[in-house]
Chain A
C-alpha cells in the first residue's frame, strides 16, 4: 500500500488473504474430524506397538508439514529477492513462523512416542531425531536474525537469503537421513514408498491432508491479520502524520 500524506491518496493492495478463509477453515475441520474418526474407529492396532502407534497419525504429519513449511518459506523468499515486494517477505516470514509451531508440535509428540515405545524421551544417536532437531534449531534462529537487523530493507534481504538456504537444506537433510544407517526410529516412509497396510495408509493420508490444510488455514489467517493491521497503521500514518503512528520499537516481523 502506498500512501501520500500531501494528497490524501491511498492505494490499497489488491491482496486480500481473508478470501476463501471460511470454506478453507470448514474443509480443515471436516478433514481433521475425519482423520480422528479414522484413527480411532478404522485404523487397526499395530501388531508390535499396539495403541501407542496412534501417535504416528499426528506426529508424522506435523513433522512433514513443518518441513514442507520451511521449504515453502524459502520459495516465498525467492519472490522477495526477485521482486523486492515486501509482501513476499511477509508471506515467507509467516510460513516459517507457522512451520516452527508445527515443528515444535512434531518434536513434542515424537518425544512422547519415543518415551512410550523406547522408554526414553530422546535418543541422541538416532539420525532422524537429531536431524529434525538441527533443522528446527536452524529455523529457530530466523526470528533473532531478523530482530538483530534494524534496517527493514536489509532485514528482509538477509532473512530471505537465510530462508532460501535453510529451505534448500531441508530436502538435503532428508536424503542424508534416508541414506544413513537406521537405528531405532521406524522407517515407514522411504524413498521407495510407504511401508503401511492400506487401512493405515488411508488414515495417514487423510491426517496428512488435514494437517496440511490446518497449516494453510493458519497461514492465511495470520496473513489476513497482519495485512489488516498493516493497513490500519498505514491509514493512521496517512491521516495523522508519520511520527504518531510509527511502531514503538524494532520488530522481527516485517512491517
Chain B
C-alpha cells in the first residue's frame, strides 16, 4: 500500500483543477454508495418480510392447517432459495 502511495502521481488538490476532479470522482462514488445503502435497507425489509412469513407458516403448522402436499411445496421452496 505504501508503495502504491509512493508511486502515485501528485494530485493537485490545492489547485482548482484538482478540486474539480476530486469533486467529480466523489460524486460518482457517492452515487454508488447511496445506491448500495438503499439496496441494503431494501434487503433488511425483505428479511423482515421473510421472518414474518416464517412466523406465519409456523403458526399455521401449529394450528394443524398444514397438509403433506403443502409441506412438500415449502420444502421445494427452501431448496430453490
Contacts and interface: CB of A to CB of B under 8 A. Distances in A.
Partners in one complex: yes
Interface of A: 7-10, 12, 40-41, 50-52, 54-55, 58-59, 62, 101, 104-105, 108-109, 112-113, 115-116, 214, 218, 221-222, 225, 228-229, 232-233, 235-236, 239-240
A222 B21 contact: no
Contact of B77 (A10, A50, A58): A10
Nearest to A59: B24
Given A41-B9, A105-B27, A235 B77 contact: yes
B53 A41 contact: no
Nearest to A107: B27
Nearest to B53: A236
A109 B57 contact: no
A218 B32 CA distance: 9
Contacts of B12: 51
Given A40-B11, A225-B43, A239-B57, A109 B28 contact: yes
Interface residues of B, number: 37
A52 B57 contact: no
Contact of A8 (B18, B27, B70): B70
Contacts of A105: 27-28, 31
Contacts of B32: 214
Contact of B49 (A116, A214, A232): A232
A116 B16 contact: yes
Contact of A51 (B21, B35, B39, B53): B21
Contacts of B16: 116
Contacts of A225: 39, 42-43, 46
Contacts of A221: 39
